[in-house]
């Protein structure tokens, strides 16, 4: 599933490709991709308009239209946005196609149709209505600690809760916890642990963006390079463990990621 780094890359891609191009035609090829809007309504509000800017919050994209409306897109598990030049074939699972006056197109391709597209009056009103938490790259250390302080759930589950902090998914939650030396089932983290986790979240997300979310280009000290059955911890060579937590598979090192503030945690320093 695309997480914050992948969606941030999509934002930059759209910003470079589709701004200030009048939309000639809107083709809803599968209305299951639409959220709280009909094909006729989205066609009416997008046709003859242009995108003026692109914003991202967490895993969601907002494209500003002429006329004070925003197209909102969530890529779901398998969604992709593809800018097609003249003559290029549509992707096999195109659900929404925007055809620009210059003959180029923007396709929303989504195999499993867990993504969605809709309209909103503003990003802020949409996020408030959805009760979405602050963006993981924008929340500061104090804000992050305030959100997490006193929560009863396992820290991995808290990180995946988009109403607390938005943008972190299963893979990057595992990576941030690995770099911070925190077991995914740890609860009641202290201020030092929360501060360390905030720093590693920021570092992990920014590092992934810098390498275009290509895991093969991440530092070898990153869990994502080794996150598979039989993988070894890049810090100490221990066999990685994996288990289900809240329905999601978590990978961690049993040696230096121990729950409930084991003594190893205070001595841990993220690998670089």
Report, as residue numbers or ranges, the catalytic residues. 2-3, 59, 248
> Which uninterrupted H or E stretch holds 198?
helix 191-210
Distance between start and end Cα atoms, the chain: 26
Distance (Å, whole) CA 256 – CA 27: 52
Distance (Å, whole) CA 23 – CA 106: 10
CB 160 within 8 A of CB 129: no
Residue 81's contacts (CB-CB under 8 Å, 6 or more residues apart) are: 10, 13, 14, 73, 75, 106, 107, 108, 109
Sign of CA dihedral 25, 30, 34, 39: positive
Task: Provide the 10 A C-beta neighbour count for residue 214.
Answer: 8
Residue entry with tokens 């867990």: 114
Question: Strands, DSSP E only, in the chain?
Answer: 23-28, 51-57, 60-65, 70-74, 79-84, 94-100, 105-110, 116-120, 241-245, 248-252
Torsion of CA 85, 91, 94, 97, to 10 degrees: 10
Distance (Å, whole) CA 31 – CA 37: 9
CB 149 within 8 A of CB 141: no
């Amino acid at each position: 599933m695309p997480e914050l780094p992948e969606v941030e890359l999509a934002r930059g891609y759209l910003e470079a490709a589709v701004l200030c191009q009048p939309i000639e035609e809107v083709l809803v090829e599968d209305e299951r991709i639409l959220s709280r809007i009909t094909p006729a309504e989205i066609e009416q509000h997008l046709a003859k308009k242009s995108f003026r800017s692109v914003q991202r919050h967490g895993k969601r994209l907002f494209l500003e239209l002429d006329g004070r409306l925003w197209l909102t897109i969530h890529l779901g598990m398998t969604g992709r946005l593809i800018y097609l030049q003249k003559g290029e074939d549509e992707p096999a699972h195109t659900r929404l196609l925007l055809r620009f006056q210059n003959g180029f197109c923007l396709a929303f391709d989504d195999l499993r149709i867990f993504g969605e597209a809709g309209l909103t009056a503003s990003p802020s009103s949409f996020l408030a209505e959805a009760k979405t938490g602050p963006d993981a790259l924008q929340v500061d250390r104090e804000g992050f600690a305030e959100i997490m302080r006193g929560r009863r759930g396992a820290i991995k589950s808290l990180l995946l809760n988009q109403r607390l902090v938005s943008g972190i998914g299963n893979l990057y939650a595992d990576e941030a916890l690995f770099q911070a030396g925190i077991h995914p089932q740890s609860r009641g983290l202290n201020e030092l642990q929360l501060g360390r986790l905030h720093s590693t979240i920021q570092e992990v997300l920014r590092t992934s963006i810098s390498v275009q979310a290509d895991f093969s280009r991440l530092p070898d000290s990153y869990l994502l390079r080794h996150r598979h059955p039989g993988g070894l911890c890049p810090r100490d060579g221990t066999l990685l463990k994996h288990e289900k937590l809240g329905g999601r598979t978590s990978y961690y090192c049993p040696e230096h990621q121990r729950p409930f503030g084991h003594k190893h945690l205070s001595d841990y320093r993220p690998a670089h």
